[in-house]
Structure 1
């Protein structure tokens, strides 16, 4: 899969064509400054997608296009800003992929202009950050109604092409609504965290139920490649191996199959895994021992020093994945993390996540949204992975890699 899209005839890398590949019964979130292309949104809707569209009211956003697409309000929600400072170009397709770059949602922007956009896979640590940014944008935006659309159309018509006058009239009518760039948004808003927790619970329940089936199949083979690891961790490594060796790229997109077919196909892949030279399994064993030695109890967590904590952090794949996006290498990144959060705060957050009696979805949610437990540079992927490594409830590691590998085995989209 190409990662750069410039709408070039020579490269044949049109952004619209690439995005439509993911437009199959997906939840799509779009944040753009300019909107004039309702036809693209109709293509998404006709492919079973539901849409959240975030736009700026101002030239050249087209009120007629907004009015047409608004008629499909059972499939699309629209919010808006009026400030010229709102200028993103972001397209997120559920839990699959995001596109970020220079293209507004205009016919020229996604098809013919010389633009530059990149795709970001859901396994990239940046993906969850982009989702967070969109949610912040969405939460602060105003809801677009048909009444506002009609008033916007009237303003543009009355002032014709006098762009400056249009901007002034919009501010007068609707206010200068901008994203609060300087004011820090409260991440602990109950409605947002509650909605996230419900979605997380639904996804975890579906995954864990299917993981239990996978575990039963795995046990039936009597093949253990790393008996020193808990079975759920070995199976997680099997799923990682699948993603790297079999389900890479878009190969994971296989249709659901029946239980017996899943069993036969999975046993075949388990045997291949057992006979493979998967070197990362040794590293996984070392990482697991490191994490459990230092985070295996509340007493262990209370007693760890910075060096021991650093070892644990660098054993978390999602945490380590952030290093390449930050200058200075591993040591600097870990030191910055510890200095930004403080040892005491990190310990309290980890103790809550791993040992509190709250439900695991509530603990994960609070470690992402609740200011009492949320850590800087320790987002959703890190929280879920650490919980999967060290929890006492035998809940498996749950992330985009495992979802895709399970889909490859025939369990369906998670």
Structure 2
């Protein structure tokens, strides 16, 4: 049927269907299609999305994707155009992970959703998606070049830095102090005094020493801030919705009970190497596994389960630990006996008893070889130093200036979690319990 003889209703319906179809290109006009609509046109339910845009000022495309269950990997540039509030809104979405560059050489505008990619000139801004005269071209999985676009995204993603809550707070501080310089180069120079530098792969990274340090920091940020902490927060949300608590923990910080619960699960429900044997699971499956374990936890008659602490002692030790290390001044005033008495409440530190002869007395004598002033300086740096918390943790794990003999990664991360409200306490048992529930976390 020709258009000239079609009924008006048929024409209207056909035009509507044409507007909803995935186009071959977008130019932000009625006739060429608006870039924002691509995110609706291309989206399959539950697919993964990979977005790269140096400028980021709107969460609208992310909202379109996550409402359909898509997991979004977002790569942006921290600059005067990308405001902290929009990043905070995006990072609050549990389906969104964000990495960043500070380098002005990062210009890529590349969006891959399922089997379709969009590449062109449009940033993730209202003007880039709706009003600027942009040119963006659609590439489908069977088209030449699609796999190359995926590889390019993977290269950019693997070299970028993880945007954590700590780094975002530093970015907010930078915005307040820098103001709004007219030159991007000036903003970048000042920004990198607050936020760790992140350069694109084609740019010079710097000395071999700096490159190795950056690689280790990337590893820690991805391990904790992209894997372990989101998994812990998911368990925390399930625990809150479960609505039951053991009477021994009633009225106490829920994180204390969750920490004991995860340790209990590792010992009772995932002993030995059985934690490795469970399959990775969807969010719905993870929820059922956690709920099943919570049922067992709340009815168990043995919360100690072969460990050093029962529920009541667990609460006491965390109070003692937090009081002893409540401030740099509190740490400075501690005697060695009081400091050790607080630290022995850290499960990862207490576990060293298995490797030291002489029990508590032997461990106490061995740890004292670090010297009391050095221990205090390191703990104060870890808990109250300047900059990003995980970077300070890295210092205490790998930097000779700060690290302590007999106080490794698990000790550092668990202690940091008990004192920092923005980070949960994490040790080897925590990680293995989370893996037992089906989370993709790594030791």
Normalising to structure 1: TM-score of the pair?
Answer: 0.51
Cα 1:372–1:413 shift into 2, 3 Å: closer
1:408 aligned residue: 436
Deviation of the 1:399 alpha carbon: 2.6
Deviation of the 1:282 alpha carbon: 2.0
Q: Is the 8 A contact 2:286 2:438 kept in 1?
A: yes
2:338 aligned residue: 308
1:387 aligned residue: 416
2:234 aligned residue: 213
Q: Is the 8 A contact 1:243 1:401 kept in 2?
A: yes
1:161 aligned residue: none
Superposition pairs for residues 70-81 of structure 1, below 5 Å?
none
Cα 1:195–1:322 shift into 2, 3 Å: same
How many Å separate the matches in 1 of 2:407 and 2:211? Answer: 22
How many Å separate the matches in 2 of 1:326 and 1:241? Answer: 24
Indicate the SS of the match to 2:274: coil
Cα 1:411–1:332 shift into 2, 3 Å: closer
Q: Is the 8 A contact 1:233 1:396 kept in 2?
A: no
For residue 360 of structure 1, the aligned residue among 389, 395, 400 is 389
How many Å separate the matches in 1 of 2:371 and 2:365? Answer: 10
Superposition pairs for residues 157-168 of structure 1, below 5 Å?
none
Deviation of the 1:228 alpha carbon: 4.6
1:34 aligned residue: none
Deviation of the 1:190 alpha carbon: 4.4
CA displacement 1:199-220 (0-9 Å, x = unmatched): 1110102111122111111100
CA displacement 1:96-115 (0-9 Å, x = unmatched): xxxxxxxxxxxxxxxxxxxx
Deviation of the 1:347 alpha carbon: 1.0
2:14 aligned residue: none
Indicate the SS of the match to 1:322: helix
2:262 aligned residue: 239
Confirm or deny that 1:222 pairs with 2:243.
yes
Cα 1:324–1:402 shift into 2, 3 Å: closer
Indicate the SS of the match to 1:372: coil
Aligned length, in residue pairs: 225
Confirm or deny that 1:264 pairs with 2:292.
no
What value does the CA root-mean-square deviation take over the aligned residues?
Answer: 2.0
Deviation of the 1:413 alpha carbon: 4.1
Confirm or deny that 1:298 pairs with 2:335.
no
Deviation of the 1:189 alpha carbon: 5.3
Q: Is the 8 A contact 1:316 1:382 kept in 2?
A: yes
Normalising to structure 2: TM-score of the pair?
Answer: 0.48
Cα 1:191–1:289 shift into 2, 3 Å: same
How many Å separate the matches in 1 of 2:278 and 2:440? Answer: 8
How many Å separate the matches in 1 of 2:319 and 2:339? Answer: 13
Confirm or deny that 1:203 pairs with 2:223.
yes
Deviation of the 1:363 alpha carbon: 1.0
How many Å separate the matches in 2 of 1:263 and 1:336? Answer: 43
How many Å separate the matches in 1 of 2:421 and 2:381? Answer: 13
How many Å separate the matches in 1 of 2:279 and 2:354? Answer: 34
For residue 371 of structure 2, the aligned residue among 333, 342, 358 is 342
How many Å separate the matches in 2 of 1:320 and 1:400? Answer: 13
Q: Is the 8 A contact 1:355 1:391 kept in 2?
A: no
Q: Is the 8 A contact 1:254 1:410 kept in 2?
A: yes
How many Å separate the matches in 2 of 1:218 and 1:410? Answer: 16
Deviation of the 1:354 alpha carbon: 0.9
Q: Is the 8 A contact 1:193 1:369 kept in 2?
A: no
2:23 aligned residue: none
Structure with more contact order per residue of length (Cα contacts < 8 Å, sep ≥ 6): 1
Cα 1:199–1:243 shift into 2, 3 Å: same
Cα 1:350–1:227 shift into 2, 3 Å: farther
2:273 aligned residue: 250
How many Å separate the matches in 1 of 2:416 and 2:441? Answer: 23
Q: Is the 8 A contact 2:228 2:441 kept in 1?
A: no
How many Å separate the matches in 1 of 2:355 and 2:435? Answer: 29
1:194 aligned residue: 214
How many Å separate the matches in 1 of 2:313 and 2:426? Answer: 19
Q: Is the 8 A contact 1:323 1:330 kept in 2?
A: yes
Q: Which runs of 5+ in 1 are unaligned?
A: 1-187
CA displacement 1:148-171 (0-9 Å, x = unmatched): xxxxxxxxxxxxxxxxxxxxxxxx
1:331 aligned residue: 361
Runs of 4+ displaced beyond 3 Å: 188-193
How many Å separate the matches in 2 of 1:229 and 1:295? Answer: 19
Deviation of the 1:341 alpha carbon: 1.8
